[in-house]
Amino acid sequence: MMGQAQARPVVREPVAAMRAVWSALDAAATPLSTLATLAALVRTLSPSDYGILVIALAASGLSMAVNPAIAATTTKFVSELSGQRHPGGRTVAGVITVSLMAVVVIDLVLLLATAVFNEPLSLWVFGAAVARTRHLGQVLLLAVFAPGPQ
């Protein structure tokens, strides 16, 4: 019996090879698309417009800082729940629902705060000379809103 088990070919090798290919494509796609987008933006936008875009993207990144922590906490709670024999009324769907509601509330608070303090935030982030000449409040509002649906 031992000889028969060792003689069988492993079926999962093609699956592992395909996963490696897709993983490599995924790893290469982000830097390549970022480089192409950056090249197009640098050629299209003026230096001040590009600076505004960079600041808006930085504000967008700040609003995304909360989501990884909530994702890690949700994963922890789902893992604990899966390992329990008697979860005591808690369900995986309930944990995921609560975490999604927390993300929505945090995103709405950030969006509302940006909308309410639009003018002072634009002055603080972009400076008085730039903020008064353009509609940067809308840019800032969109930058904070953009990660919400993601």
State whether 28 and 97 are in the same domain: no
At residue 149, the pLDDT reads 53
State whether 58 and 86 are in the same domain: yes
State whether 23 and 79 are in the same domain: no
At residue 145, the pLDDT reads 63
Q: Of how many residues is the chain composed?
A: 150
- For the chain, what is the radius of gyration of the CA atoms? 24
Is pTM beyond 0.85? Reply is no
Tokens coding 111: 């969006």
> In whole angstroms, how far apart are CA 2 and each of 10, 31, 73, 97?
15, 48, 44, 49
- Residue 135 domain flag: yes
- Residue 77 domain flag: yes
At residue 30, the pLDDT reads 81
Tokens coding 115: 């909308």
Residue at token pair 């995304």: 64
DSSP letters spanning 30-65: HHHHHHHHHHHHHHHS-HHHHHHHHHHHHHHHHHTS
State whether 24 and 87 are in the same domain: no
- Tell me how far the alpha carbon of residue 140 is from its chain's centroid: 17
The Cα 134–Cα 131 span in angstroms is: 6
Q: What is the pLDDT along the chain (150 residues), one digit of tens a residue?
A: 555 556 565 555 667 778 888 888 888 888 888 888 878 877 887 777 777 777 777 766 766 677 778 888 888 888 888 877 776 777 888 888 998 898 888 878 877 777 777 777 767 766 776 666 666 666 666 666 665 555
At residue 31, the pLDDT reads 84
- Residue 81 domain flag: yes
Residue ranges in the chain assigned as alpha helix (H): 2-7, 13-44, 47-63, 67-83, 92-116, 118-126, 128-131, 136-145
- Residue 5 domain flag: no
State whether 51 and 108 are in the same domain: yes
- Residue 4 domain flag: no
Which residues form the domain of 26? Answer: 10-44
